Structures are given as structure tokens and as C-alpha cells.
Amino acid sequence: MAANEDLERIREAITGRPGPAPFTGGAQSFPGTGKTGKPAGKDKKKGGPAPLPPGPAAVPPPAPRHEESGGGSGILGGIAFLVAAAFVINGWINSGGLPDFGSATPPWSSGSSAGSGSYPDTAPEDDTYSAPEELRVSPRSGSAHTTVTVTGSGFIRDGLVKLTFHATAMGEARTDGDGDFTARMRLPSPDFYGRFPGQTYSISTTEYTRDGTYQGNGPGVGFHIN
């Protein structure tokens, strides 16, 4: 303590200011500054916020889900189908032949009126054959006041055929047991159709039974107005 008092007296003599009191366990003085330092262990402010506790551990993101697809099941289904088909074909071969996938149909028409298709050279004797429908008109051209002869074959048997010139009723004819008919009739509405020389109009047919039941539309033929 004597050495410290001597140093303070020397400092006071040089600077003309009294030095700090000798250190007695309080704040430590720094020579030449006049400032006192903070005691060790007291660098934290009283009443300050306490340090935050450590947060929860980071959870890794979930692994991406793999989309399920039906590709595997589709492939397995295809393999199963091929295996089953192989067994079926093998059974056909071992049985001596393949099954019949179709049935033969006669080349002629079996309806009351003939349709399109091939016809045999000789008609069968079971009355299932009808000749192709055909319509003819004579003459094929003339004035609007012309009287024409209309001939049909292969139509409904013992029925009725109505004829139409363009959009105007022309007349009707009865067919025989073979579906044939011949009728003479004048062109309808000559004053109207006579205004359109050079035009060709269709003579069309519709088939009915004798009691008037509709059966279908038949063929047509053209007539030219001079």
C-alpha cells in the first residue's frame, strides 16, 4: 500500500490533480485515464432478456410419393390374355380344325322385292328368288304433254306401285304374281313443267301391298323435257 500512495503523490505533483483513491476491492482504476473498469463477472446487465432456448430440431421434408400407375396391371392382363389365346388355339388345332366364323348366305334375294347383289343363273325352285327391280319409260324425252309407257319388273308381287314425276304424283299400277307391271300415263302438270325445257326430271316409284301398306322405295328413271 505504501508504494501506491507514493505513486499517487507523484501523479498529483505532476498533473496537479488528485488521483483516484487507492484500490480497496471496488472498481479497478486504470493509471493515467481516471476511468474505472467493470469488475470481472459483472458484464451482464441486470434485468436483460434471458437467452432464447434452442429451437426444435429441423424435421427433414417427406420423401416424394411415387405415383402408382396401372402399367403393370395392364401388362399382366395382356400376358394373361395371350396365354389364354394360345391355349384356345392349341385346342382348336388338336381338335382337327378351326371353328366356323361365318355362315354362307344364298346369292339371291329372299324378300318380296329384289335387292342389289349377285343372282344365280338358274332361279331356285323354292320361290325365294326375285329378279332385280327395273323401271323403264318410253319415250325417254318429249314435250311436257307427252304420254309415256312405264314398265316395271321385279317389284312387289301382287302389290301396288305409285309413280311420281319429280315432286308431282303421276299415277299408280298394280303388279302381277311376278312383280311386273305396264302402264300408260301422261306427264303431270304440263303447263308448269313446260316452262323448263331442257331439264331432266326423275320418275320414281314407291311400293305398297294391295291393302296400302308401305313396303319401300323402288328405282327411278329420267325423262327429258324438250
Residue 134 has a CB neighbour count (10 Å cut-off) of: 15
Pair 203, 139: CB distance under 8 Å? no
- AA identity, residue 88: V
* Range 136-146 burial, b when 16+ CB lie within 10 A, else e: ebeeeeeebee
Element of type H or E holding 15: helix 2-15
Nearest by Cα to 155 from 172, 171, 132, 137: 132
Record the pTM: 0.45
Residue 140: pLDDT over 80? yes
Query: Over the stretch 26-39, which tens digit does the pLDDT of each residue have?
Result: 445 445 455 555 54
Q: Residue 56 region, left (φ>0) first, then alpha (ψ -120 to 50), else beta?
A: beta
List the alpha helices (DSSP H) in 51-207.
71-95, 190-193
pLDDT in tens, 37-94: 554 445 545 555 556 556 556 666 666 665 555 555 667 777 878 877 777 677 666 6
